[in-house]
Chains A and B, each alone.
Chain A
Amino acid sequence: MERIPILRMGPFLLITIQVDMHDKLAMQLQDDVAQRISDWGSSGVLIDISSLEIVDSFIGRMLANIAAMSRVLGADTVVVGMQPAVAITLVELGMSLPGVRTALNVESGMELLYGTLGTYLGAAHDRSEV
């Protein structure tokens, strides 16, 4: 089955979503991200949605879930590149995605992740002690 590829960039994961996802693909992505964070001990997840022309409530929830789940696993998530029309529609739909950090593009997203890297390294460290 096709999957959304997850690239490893040092301490971070980079996911570029370029296809119109059906529900199963989205669920698979959630599982894969959790697995990868665990496998590689990643401390950050960057999700690039600049190619997505539609984000409905299901995809919105997927993004929120990935962010929440990653946090529990000690990683920070940043969603980047949301298109203006998509942002306007999501707001109208009633989704504000609280708890999901955002940035304009991959570059700013990385800066954001590096900026908070300090705190999260600490958290991961504690976790490994347990």
Chain B
Amino acid sequence: MTVVKSEQLPLQSSTDVVAARQRVRQMATELRFSLVDQTKLVTAASELARNALDHGGGGQMSIEVVNGLSRMGLKLIFEDNGPGIPDIQAALKDGFTTGNGMGLGLGGSKRLVNEFAIESEIGKGTKVTVVRWK
């Protein structure tokens, strides 16, 4: 895929999280995503941005407009330099349907997007990349 446009937003406070998801909403609207697809992407962005802030100690989000095979999409990259995730497989399982609030929202976010990739190193940080195609 080719990148048409790219932007970076900081994730250092809870107001940053709101600003980030609003920017994703704006760009999804500009690209004329359907309402349900927009909502899913923005919600995933909110989850992942919050993770970067709460579990990663702060980080940043990049938004890229990408060109795939005859379709456009939005790619979001969430990076933090936090403690990293020890057991990614476990983290991808749903944690909060049981209501204990410990889930990282990763499993759920994965279902809201078309492509999902996660890299994490203990002590170094975490990087989550998601793509939603139009």
Contacts and interface: CB of A to CB of B under 8 A. Distances in A.
Whether chains A and B associate is: yes
Contacts of A92: 40, 108, 111-112
Interface in B11-51: 14-15, 17-18, 21-22, 25, 35-36, 38-40, 42-43, 46-47, 50
Given A54-B42, A93-B111, A22 B14 contact: yes
B97 interface: yes
Contacts of A55: 43
Interface residues of B, number: 29
Interface in A41-58: 53-58
Contacts of A53: 25, 39, 42
Contacts of B14: 22-24
B103 interface: yes
A20 B47 contact: no
Interface residues of A, number: 24
Interface in A76-104: 84-86, 88-89, 92-96, 98
A57 B106 CA distance: 11
B43 A20 contact: no
Given A22-B18, A57-B103, A94 B96 contact: yes
12 contacts: A21-B18, A22-B14, A22-B15, A54-B46, A55-B43, A57-B108, A58-B46, A89-B40, A93-B108, A93-B111, A94-B107, A94-B111
Interface of A: 20-24, 53-58, 61, 64, 84-86, 88-89, 92-96, 98
